[in-house]
Amino acid sequence: MPELPEVETIVNDLKKKVLHRTFIALWTDTAKIIKKTSFSQFQKNILGKKIIGIKRRAKNILISLSDNYILLIHLKMTGHLLVGKWQRKEKKWVSKIKGAMSNDPGNRFLRLIFSLDDGQQLALSDIRKFAKVELWKESELLKSKEFMALGPEPLDPSFTFSKFKQLFFKKKGKIKPVLMDSKFIAGIGNIYASEILLEAMLHPESRVENLKEKDLKCIYKAIKKVLKKGIKARGSSISDYRDLQGQKGGFQKIAKIYGKKGQKCPYCNTKIERIVVGQRGTFYCPVCQTKK
């Protein structure tokens, strides 16, 4: 599933590509991706709306529209957004843009296409059809149960160590699932949680209630460092993620531990091991990462 760095990369690119554009047409072959309402009602409400702002909240892409609407897109397991131009040939969409957009098979599963007033198209590609698209009134979304429950944004300037430390007051459980809980901290998933805990030199099964202030400081610094590296690398394409141009991210090339079972730890040369923590595959160094 795309995590904070992938979604942030998409949002930053969308701002450059589609801001101030207007939706003029809509196509889908997978109406179930549209949630909360029927496709016909969704289409009626969104056509003619102008894009006036784009931001991220947790793993959600939020596109602010005219008339106080917000288009929410959650990519789930295998979805990604593309901006380009396609034409329909023999019941298939064919990219007019050469390169990754047309050559990478991962970019061919177009489920939803928004046509924009400048001739561009915003498309959702999703091989497994799990992504969700919702149209909200802004006031209703911000008051929704799901949004009210989201934890703080880890890269927000206001997210100080003091606020981070307060989150752990009376908190219990294993540290890795805690970091991945969007109600605790927004946006951290499996890949970056593993990288963060190696950076902090903590075993993924360490008990939160056993952590000292120095451990929390290490985690806090590691969160900032690893997520910023992920954004700079334009996300991780270990699986299905692609950017708006249909290209893979680069974080998988610089990741230190995720997916590297049997390879050498970059700090001590011990073989990296894999266990399951919170039902997720988890990679760690048995020497560097101390269990608390």
Tell me the pLDDT tens digit for each residue of 78-120. 999 999 999 999 889 999 999 999 999 999 999 999 999 999 9
The residue annotated as part of the active site, out of 2, 5, 177, 204, is 2
pLDDT score, position 210: 96
Percent of the chain topping pLDDT 90: 97
For the chain, the residue count is 292
Contact indicator for 74, 131 with CB cutoff of 8 Å: yes
207 as an active site residue: the answer is no
pLDDT score, position 156: 97
**Higher per-residue confidence, 219 vs 239:** 219
pLDDT score, position 104: 95
Q: Which residues pair with 28 in a beta bridge?
A: 112
In a domain, 203, yes or no: yes
Residues 98 and 30 in one domain: yes
Residues 99 and 128 in one domain: yes
In a domain, 154, yes or no: no
Sign of CA dihedral 224, 225, 231, 237: negative
In a domain, 155, yes or no: no
The residue annotated as part of the active site, out of 3, 6, 8, 205, is 3
264 as an active site residue: the answer is no
Question: In whole angstroms, what is the distance from residue 292 CA to residue 281 CA?
Answer: 20
Number of domains composing the chain: 2
Q: Which residue has the tokens 């991962």?
A: 106
- Average pLDDT value for residue range 124-141: 96
Other CB atoms within a 10 A radius of the CB of residue 191 amount to 27
- What 274-279 contacts at long range (C-beta under 8 Å, 24+ apart), as own/partner pairs, is 275/204, 275/205, 277/174, 277/176, 277/177, 277/204, 277/205, 278/174, 278/176, 278/177, 278/180
Average pLDDT for the chain: 96
274 as an active site residue: the answer is no
269's CB contacts (< 8 A; 6+ apart) are none
CATH of the domain at 119: 3.20.190.10
**Residue 239: is its pLDDT beyond 90?**
no
Residues 273 and 166 in one domain: yes
Residues 171 and 135 in one domain: no
Question: In whole angstroms, what is the distance from residue 138 CA to residue 5 CA?
Answer: 24
Residues 12 and 51 in one domain: yes
Q: Which residue has the tokens 């989150």?
A: 167
In a domain, 289, yes or no: no
pLDDT score, position 1: 79
The model's pLDDT over 169-226, given as tens digits with 9 standing for 90+, comes to: 999 999 999 999 999 999 999 999 999 999 999 999 999 999 999 999 999 999 999 9
Q: Which residue range forms the structural domain that includes residue 263?
A: 161-284
- Average pLDDT value for residue range 16-44: 96
Q: From 259, 256, 187, select the one nearest 224 (Cα to Cα).
A: 187
In a domain, 153, yes or no: no
* Domain end among 148, 178, 210: 148
Contact indicator for 6, 236 with CB cutoff of 8 Å: yes
The residue annotated as part of the active site, out of 108, 132, 229, 280, is 280
* Domain end among 148, 180, 202: 148
In a domain, 106, yes or no: yes
Residues 118 and 179 in one domain: no
The residue annotated as part of the active site, out of 17, 21, 49, 59, is 59
The model's pLDDT over 277-291, given as tens digits with 9 standing for 90+, comes to: 999 999 999 999 999
In a domain, 205, yes or no: yes
Percent of the chain topping pLDDT 70: 100
Residues 177 and 219 in one domain: yes
Residues 26 and 97 in one domain: yes
- Average pLDDT value for residue range 148-171: 96
- Average pLDDT value for residue range 242-250: 97
pLDDT score, position 202: 98
Residues 258 and 233 in one domain: yes
Residues 13 and 140 in one domain: yes
In a domain, 290, yes or no: no
* Domain end among 148, 175, 205: 148
138 as an active site residue: the answer is no
Contact indicator for 33, 114 with CB cutoff of 8 Å: no
Contact indicator for 120, 17 with CB cutoff of 8 Å: yes
* Structural tokens at position 111: 């489920």
CATH of the domain at 203: 1.10.8.50
DSSP 174: B
Residues 183 and 240 in one domain: yes
Q: Which residues pair with 62 in a beta bridge?
A: 55, 72
Residues 134 and 209 in one domain: no
